[in-house]
């Protein structure tokens, strides 16, 4: 399949690109587009065959439901049986923004969007291009992250191109995304909302808005079956093994030196402060605060290629603010956890 790539910049009027992309979506085809978190791979959420195209292109397991994206609260309310007051509060406070709300589905979306569940994840993204595309095509758009299943989510159009070129009908390229990690998924089908996936909106922010919020116990304890089906899969894997190493820069350096003695080439991912104090074969600096680290993490995970280095050593980060989401993704990407 030929993948059409539109550039949202001075090369072409934005509306022309968006109209073409929207046409493809309305015609049952797959189009990748930017959101404020990561690029998504979209298809008409009401069209089962179109949605199958997403699973096929990504190689995604069929039991993993997709998020339906819409431009407005009104469109969102058309996909669910009820809008409980806590969900309404979350929508009014955080959308458009990096949050996905799980509610009872009313069946408007195709059954493969929800992977047969009675609930549906709905999201109003906060990206001008995503908003424009969703308003222009005027259909709910099912969209998982636009990567091959198991790989890090794409934060640039080049990441999408590398994974899906030739497998999808289009790609709207508007440069790098902002947050860099996927939306917070929160289940609002019970009285107290439950965080199923940590993300751009933190637990503290959610509690400020709606009071008590629980966290899916499976996020802390790998023995429990996660409520977001996608959370059980190994994810975000770089090409080479990655160790998450806790401890001071000196302790991390000791682990690097020990492994180098084995003639291994070592790549490092660390904050600016830590990176300045380490020596290795290749060092990628993620940034100096947690928000910067979140924004660069997935790109860094794609940089190290087989043959470049034999092992990636990555620092651990405090689980405060977006650090919770960073550590959740790193734990899925890592092959081992070393407490140095």
What distance in Å separates the CA atoms of residue 312 and residue 76, rounded to the nearest whole number? 42
| Stretch in the footprint of ligand TXA (CB under 6 A) among 114-122, 202-210, 263-271, 319-327 | 114-122
- Structure tokens given for 23: 């046409």
Residues 6+ apart with CB under 8 A from 13: none
Q: How far is the CB of 73 from ligand TXA (least distance, A)?
A: 17
Q: Single out the residue of 24, 29, 40, 294 in contact with ligand TXA (rule: CB under 6 A).
A: 40
| Residue 80 and residue 103 in contact, taking contact as beta carbons nearer than 8 Å | yes
Q: How far is the CB of 192 from ligand TXA (least distance, A)?
A: 16
Residue 96 interacting with ligand TXA (CB under 6 A):
no
Q: How far is the CB of 61 from ligand TXA (least distance, A)?
A: 10
Q: How far is the CB of 248 from ligand TXA (least distance, A)?
A: 33
Residue 61 partner contact from ligand TXA, Mg ion, none using kind-dependent CB cut-offs of 5 to 8 Å? none
3-state secondary structure 249-313: HHHHHHHHHHHHHCCCCEEEEECHHHHCCCCCCEEEECCCCHHHHHHHHHHHHHHCCECCECEEE
Residue 133 interacting with ligand TXA (CB under 6 A):
no
Q: How far is the CB of 314 from ligand TXA (least distance, A)?
A: 21
Q: How far is the CB of 146 from Mg ion (least distance, A)?
A: 9
Q: Single out the residue of 229, 241, 247, 249 in contact with ligand TXA (rule: CB under 6 A).
A: 229
What distance in Å separates the CA atoms of residue 243 and residue 337, rounded to the nearest whole number? 6
Residue 46 partner contact from Mg ion, ligand TXA, none using kind-dependent CB cut-offs of 5 to 8 Å? none
What distance in Å separates the CA atoms of residue 162 and residue 171, rounded to the nearest whole number? 12
Residue 202 interacting with ligand TXA (CB under 6 A):
no
| Residue 125 and residue 131 in contact, taking contact as beta carbons nearer than 8 Å | yes
Q: How far is the CB of 145 from Mg ion (least distance, A)?
A: 3
Residues that bind Mg ion (CB under 5 A): 145
Classify the phi-psi angles of 150: left when phi > 0, otherwise alpha if psi is within -120 to 50, otherwise beta: left
Which position's Cβ is nearest Mg ion?
145
Q: Hey, which residues between 56 and 85 contact ligand TXA (CB under 6 A)?
A: 64-67
Which class for 4: exposed (0-12), middle (13-18), buried (19 or more C-beta within 10 A)? middle
| Closer Cβ to ligand TXA, 66 or 157, answer by number | 66
Q: Hey, which residues between 135 and 194 contact ligand TXA (CB under 6 A)?
A: 143-145, 182-183, 185
Residue 40 partner contact from Mg ion, ligand TXA, none using kind-dependent CB cut-offs of 5 to 8 Å? ligand TXA
Residue 46 interacting with ligand TXA (CB under 6 A):
no
Residue 231 interacting with ligand TXA (CB under 6 A):
yes
Strands of the chain (E only): list them: 4-7, 31-33, 40-44, 67-69, 99-104, 119-123, 141-142, 170-173, 184-187, 194-197, 214-215, 242-246, 266-270, 282-285, 311-315, 336-339
Which position's Cβ is nearest ligand TXA?
230
Residue 123 partner contact from ligand TXA, Mg ion, none using kind-dependent CB cut-offs of 5 to 8 Å? ligand TXA
Residues 6+ apart with CB under 8 A from 280: 256, 260, 266, 267, 268, 313
Give me the residues that bind ligand TXA (CB under 6 A), please: 35, 37-38, 40, 64-67, 100, 102, 114, 117, 119-121, 123, 125, 143-145, 182-183, 185, 196-197, 227-231
């Amino acid at each position: 399949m030929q993948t059409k790539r539109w550039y949202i910049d001075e090369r072409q009027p934005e509306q022309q690109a968006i109209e073409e992309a929207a046409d493809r979506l309305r015609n049952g085809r797959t189009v990748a587009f930017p959101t404020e978190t990561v690029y998504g791979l979209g298809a008409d959420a009401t069209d089962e065959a179109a949605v199958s195209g997403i699973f096929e292109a990504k190689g995604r397991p069929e039991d993993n439901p997709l998020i339906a994206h819409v431009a407005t609260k009104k469109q969102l309310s058309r996909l669910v049986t009820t809008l409980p007051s806590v969900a309404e509060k979350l929508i009014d406070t955080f959308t458009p923004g990096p949050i996905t709300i799980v509610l009872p589905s009313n069946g408007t979306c195709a059954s493969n969007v929800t992977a047969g569940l009675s609930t549906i994840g709905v999201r109003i993204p906060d990206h001008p291009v995503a908003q424009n595309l969703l308003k222009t095509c005027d259909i709910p758009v099912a969209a998982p992250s636009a990567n091959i299943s198991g790989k890090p989510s794409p934060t640039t159009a080049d990441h999408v191109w590398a994974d899906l070129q030739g497998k999808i009908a289009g790609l709207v390229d508007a440069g790098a995304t902002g947050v860099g990690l996927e939306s917070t998924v929160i289940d609002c089908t019970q009285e107290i909302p439950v965080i199923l996936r940590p993300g751009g909106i933190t637990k503290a922010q959610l509690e400020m808005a709606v009071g008590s919020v629980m966290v899916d116990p499976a996020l802390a304890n790998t023995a429990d079956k996660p409520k977001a089906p996608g959370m059980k899969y190994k994810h975000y894997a770089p090409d080479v093994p990655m160790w998450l190493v806790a401890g001071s820069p000196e302790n991390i350096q000791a682990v690097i030196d020990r492994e180098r003695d084995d003639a291994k080439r070592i790549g490092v991912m660390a904050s600016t402060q830590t990176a300045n104090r380490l020596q290795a074969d290749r060092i990628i600096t993620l940034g100096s605060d947690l928000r910067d680290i979140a924004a660069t993490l997935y790109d860094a995970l794609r940089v190290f290629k087989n043959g470049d280095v034999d092992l990636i050593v990555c620092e651990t980060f405090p689980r405060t603010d977006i650090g919770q989401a960073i550590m959740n993704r790193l734990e899925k990407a890592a092959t081992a956890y070393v407490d140095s």
